[in-house]
């Protein structure tokens, strides 16, 4: 993870910052595993209540060059500014950027019935819809490639660390174990 580049969404009167970042992240998701094979991570340096206006992609120079050579940002060039490839600054910290998923009441009921823990009637009585945990993390809203439904990818930026940890990244560029440089 010695290099990075950034995709910053530009202000636009027709589209919100969130809409444009979601579109860029969605396009990145489609090519990430083919190009980086789990070696490319992402972060959102301007995150707060939303993911902000910048998507930072981290990795090795060769992987990032290969990603940048792909036409995956086609259709968004007028709405984004892509920085040149740059070395990660020498003075930096590290951060785990991961996906957080809340189990829905529907999924809890379905699992309880499938495992035989509860009957269908018991599951509806014991697992109410208001048991669902509401997440307050920033998220990207993407369309599922498998079934076309909208889904939220909640993103948690972990505590700052002094040293990196290795691991694999998902097709969203997120990881439960691997850190990205934070600067």
Query: Is the Cα dihedral 180, 145, 70, 141 positive or negative?
Result: negative
Look at residue 131 in the predicted model and tell me its pLDDT.
61
Look at residue 36 in the predicted model and tell me its pLDDT.
75
105 vs 70, more confident: 70
Catalytic residue annotation: 29
In a domain, 155, yes or no: yes
In a domain, 23, yes or no: yes
Considering the chain, what percentage of its residues have pLDDT values greater than 90? 69
In a domain, 34, yes or no: yes
Digit-coded pLDDT (tens) for 157-170 = 999 999 999 999 99
In a domain, 160, yes or no: yes
In a domain, 105, yes or no: no
Task: Count structural domains, the chain.
Answer: 1
Res 87 pLDDT > 80:
yes
Name residue 93's beta-bridge partners.
Answer: 182
Range of the domain at 93: 3-100+136-182
Res 83 pLDDT > 90:
yes
């Amino acid at each position: 993870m010695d290099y990075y580049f950034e995709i910053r969404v530009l202000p636009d009167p027709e589209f919100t910052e969130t809409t444009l970042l979601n579109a860029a992240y969605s396009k990145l998701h489609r090519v990430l595993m083919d190009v980086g094979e789990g070696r490319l991570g992402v972060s959102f340096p301007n995150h707060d209540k939303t993911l902000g206006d910048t998507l930072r992609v981290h990795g090795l120079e060769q992987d990032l060059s290969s990603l940048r050579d792909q036409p995956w940002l086609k259709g968004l060039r007028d709405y984004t500014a892509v920085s040149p490839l740059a070395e990660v600054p020498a003075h930096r910290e590290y951060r785990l950027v991961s996906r957080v998923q809340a189990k829905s009441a529907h999924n809890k009921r379905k699992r309880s019935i499938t495992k035989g823990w509860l009957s269908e009637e018991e599951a509806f009585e014991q697992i109410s819809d208001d048991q669902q945990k509401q997440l307050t993390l920033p998220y990207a809203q993407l369309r599922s490639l498998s079934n076309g439904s909208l889904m939220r990818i909640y993103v948690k930026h972990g505590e700052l660390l002094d040293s990196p940890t290795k691991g694999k990244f998902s097709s969203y560029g997120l990881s439960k174990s691997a850190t990205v440089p934070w600067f």
